């Protein structure tokens, strides 16, 4: 039997182990770098669940709050979209944010689209229906920017009235609204989805294609029931996700 130097064996084993460890390290660093690269080039979707905290929004005859429905649905859409896009939720839990905070958070993401989720509310129980809104300015009323103190103005956004930021995305926002209307009507059959241009403040300062979806009237007993139905929420999730896919694919 050949005589093997024990010391040599230990040393070569150590070298082999070291090389294996280095290889794993290089592979994992490479995978991480690739992930970062692809994440950086992913489209960014911003979802804004309406209301929150002491601002409960509309509430239904059964006691359902709008803030709860909007957060549930936004979370479901984020899960459905998975890691296809970088998805950013403006509100992740039950707390209050004012409109300027929502707008700033959205613009900070430099996202590819913005969807604010709400329900309708009316004193008339029979009022109902689903609507996709895009921003449409009115001539009589000029929306004021939220920042009163000009001395604190830091970026170029502050030099442009807030409604101008959304105005320049109007054609894209309208396209997004039309696609969303189509997908909602395709998937949701119990209610009609319409489309409308409105001077909504939550959309006015958003510097990207933006819409607001009112997923029915919470004050309507039938529509409240539907908003609590897991199958309906799943269909809404699918329809809105399809609308997002459709818009972002067309945009490329």
Binding stretches for Zn ion (CB under 5 A): 50, 57, 118
The DSSP element (H or E) to which 32 belongs, if any, is helix 6-40
Q: How many other CB atoms are there within 10 angstroms of residue 83's CB atom?
A: 10
Question: Smaller CB distance to Zn ion: residue 118 or 169?
Answer: 118
Question: Smaller CB distance to Zn ion: residue 215 or 248?
Answer: 215
CB within 8 Å of 104: residues ≥ 6 apart: none
Angle at Cα 68 formed by Cα 101 and Cα 75, nearest 5°?
A: 75
Question: Smaller CB distance to Zn ion: residue 120 or 205?
Answer: 120
Question: Smaller CB distance to Zn ion: residue 102 or 183?
Answer: 102
Min. distance of Cβ 50 from Zn ion in angstroms? 4
Closest residue to Zn ion, based on beta-carbon distance: 118
Min. distance of Cβ 117 from Zn ion in angstroms? 9
Min. distance of Cβ 82 from Zn ion in angstroms? 27
Q: In what order do the strands lie in the sheet with 44-49?
A: 86-89, 44-49, 113-120, 210-217, 130-135, 193-198
Contact status, residue 74 vs residue 117, Cβ threshold 8 Å: yes
Min. distance of Cβ 221 from Zn ion in angstroms? 18
């Amino acid at each position: 039997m050949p005589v093997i130097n024990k010391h040599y064996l230990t040393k070569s084993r150590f070298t082999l182990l070291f090389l294996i460890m280095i290889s794993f390290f290089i592979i994992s660093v490479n995978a991480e770098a690739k992930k970062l690269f692809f994440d950086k080039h992913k489209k960014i979707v911003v979802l804004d669940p309406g209301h929150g905290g002491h601002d409960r929004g509309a509430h239904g005859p059964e006691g359902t709050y709008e803030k709860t429905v909007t957060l549930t649905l936004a979370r479901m859409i984020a899960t459905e979209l998975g890691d296809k896009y970088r998805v950013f939720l403006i509100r992740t839990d039950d707390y209050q944010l004012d409109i300027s905070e929502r707008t700033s958070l959205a613009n900070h993401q430099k996202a590819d689209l913005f969807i604010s989720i709400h329900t309708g509310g009316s004193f008339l129980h029979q009022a109902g229906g689903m609507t996709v809104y895009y921003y449409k300015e009115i001539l009589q009323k000029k929306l004021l920017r939220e920042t009163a103190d000009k001395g604190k103005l830091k970026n170029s956004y502050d030099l442009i009235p807030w409604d101008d930021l959304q105005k320049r995305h109007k054609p894209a926002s309208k396209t997004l609204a039309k696609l969303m209307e189509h997908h909602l009507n395709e998937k949701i059959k119990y209610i009609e989805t319409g489309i409308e241009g409105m001077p909504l403040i939550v959309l006015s300062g958003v510097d990207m294609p933006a819409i607001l979806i009112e997923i029915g009237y919470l004050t309507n007993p039938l529509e409240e029931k539907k908003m609590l139905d897991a199958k309906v929420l799943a269909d809404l999730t699918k329809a809105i996700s399809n609308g997002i896919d459709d818009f972002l694919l067309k945009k490329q």
